[in-house]
């Protein structure tokens, strides 16, 4: 089956294309469909490999590489000329201003370049209508994708169904219910509101992102540094389990700290005035690569919580 026929094997309506993000995540699924190498990352971002993108655009792979290198140079020098003007204008409309056109991930121990769907569409349209030498492959694929959407095409071609974003979080909540001894509180339970906001914002809260781990580690260091045990009594360890979907479950039970209820008001004050205002922004910016809105959305989340801390 050739690349044009590959597009004809699936049909439907085009969903909204998510914004590009830089990721440290792995590959959920990757296959060659109709001669086009494509995949989906663990957070649902659809992509084409450089080889697949060359097939989709009808261009030489070297041409894709040259455009990739020109984009990086333009981003570094802030000098935009020639075809980079087209790509800058096209991608800026999608709020894309990343230094690279691809997402670098690791596959079988080696660097692997995944071009997200919005970049792929920019490439297809360029070789269909803007390049000095346009080609029929790009024109045909552009017309098909304009009707269908690259994201849905890749999802359907690979048989990929996005996972319920609440599944893993709900599994942890259910598993840890009533796990803390009476008279103590857990950081996990106290930070669930933060986690809910992150999931609503599009952060995949899974084995790669465990916000309560950030809160717990920071609070634990504060507890020790301030010698709060002398004020409230000693914290205790309790068994903390991860659901089987988490690789961390292989070493269940984990040891987690539970803190005396008398310290709860101080924890709440520290959480609002210290963690959310000074520790959370660096954490969420570090995870910005996983958010659909990238660093801009991460900064908005950080600002939202900083305001909550001020008002709280």
Most confident listed range (83-92, 284-293, 295-304): 83-92
3-class SS string, 21-44: CCCCCCEEEEEEECCEEEEEECCC
**Of 195, 166, 176, 165, nearest in space to 280 by CA:** 195
Specify the range with the lowest mean pLDDT, choosing from 58-62, 99-103, 284-288. Answer: 284-288
Specify the range with the lowest mean pLDDT, choosing from 124-128, 236-240, 278-282. Answer: 278-282
Residue 1 has pLDDT above 50, yes or no: no
**Of 235, 239, 258, nearest in space to 249 by CA:** 239
124 within 8 A of 144, measured Cβ to Cβ: no
Residues of the chain with pLDDT > 70: what percent? 79
Mean pLDDT value of segment 268-295: 72
Q: What confidence category does residue 304 fall into, taking pLDDT thresholds of 50, 70 and 90? A: low
Question: In terms of DSSP H, where are the helices of 126-272?
Answer: 136-148, 150-158, 167-176, 187-190, 192-200, 211-225, 229-232, 264-270
Residue 248 has pLDDT above 70, yes or no: yes
* More confident of the two residues 150 and 198: 150
pLDDT at 87: 96
Q: How far is CA 137 from CA 10, 68, 125, 134, in A?
A: 17, 20, 11, 9
Mean pLDDT value of segment 239-260: 86
Helix (H) and strand (E) counts in the chain: 15, 8
Residue 20 has pLDDT above 50, yes or no: no
* More confident of the two residues 290 and 22: 290
Q: What is the mean pLDDT of the chain?
A: 82
CA distance 38 to 147: 19
Give the strands of the sheet with 46-49, arranged side by side: 27-33, 36-41, 46-49, 110-116, 103-107
Mean pLDDT value of segment 60-89: 95
CA distance 224 to 119: 48
Mean pLDDT value of segment 43-47: 82
CA distance 200 to 194: 10
Q: What confidence category does residue 241 fall into, taking pLDDT thresholds of 50, 70 and 90? A: confident
């Amino acid at each position: 089956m050739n690349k044009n026929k590959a597009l004809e094997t699936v049909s439907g309506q085009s969903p909204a294309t998510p914004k590009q993000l830089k990721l440290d995540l792995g590959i959920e699924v990757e296959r060659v469909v109709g001669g086009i190498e494509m995949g989906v990352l663990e957070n649902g971002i659809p992509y084409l490999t450089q080889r697949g993108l060359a097939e989709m655009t009808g261009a030489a792979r070297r041409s894709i590489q040259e455009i990739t290198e020109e984009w990086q140079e333009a981003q570094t020098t802030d000098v935009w000329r020639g075809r980079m003007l087209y790509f800058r204008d096209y991608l800026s409309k999608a709020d894309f201003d990343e230094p690279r056109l691809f997402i670098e991930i690791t596959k079988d121990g080696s660097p692997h370049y995944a071009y997200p769907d919005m970049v792929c569409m920019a490439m297809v349209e360029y070789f269909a209508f803007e390049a000095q030498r346009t080609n029929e492959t790009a024109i045909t694929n552009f017309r098909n994708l304009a009707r269908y959407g690259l994201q849905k095409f890749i999802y359907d071609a690979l048989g990929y169904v996005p996972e319920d974003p609440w599944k893993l979080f709900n599994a942890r909540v259910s598993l840890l219910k009533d796990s803390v001894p009476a008279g103590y509180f857990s950081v996990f339970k106290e930070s669930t509101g933060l986690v809910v906001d992150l999931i609503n914002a599009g952060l995949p809260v899974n084995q790669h992102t465990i916000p309560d781990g950030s809160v717990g580690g920071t609070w634990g260091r504060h507890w020790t540094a301030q010698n709060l045990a002398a004020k409230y009594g000693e914290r205790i360890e309790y068994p903390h389990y991860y659901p089987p979907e988490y690789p961390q479950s292989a070493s269940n039970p984990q040891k987690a700290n539970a803190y005396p209820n008398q310290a709860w008001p101080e924890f709440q004050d520290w959480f609002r005035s210290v963690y959310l205002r000074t520790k959370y922004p660096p954490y969420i910016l570090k995870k910005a690569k996983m958010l659909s809105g990238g660093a801009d959305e991460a900064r908005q989340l950080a600002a939202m919580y900083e305001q909550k801390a001020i008002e709280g």
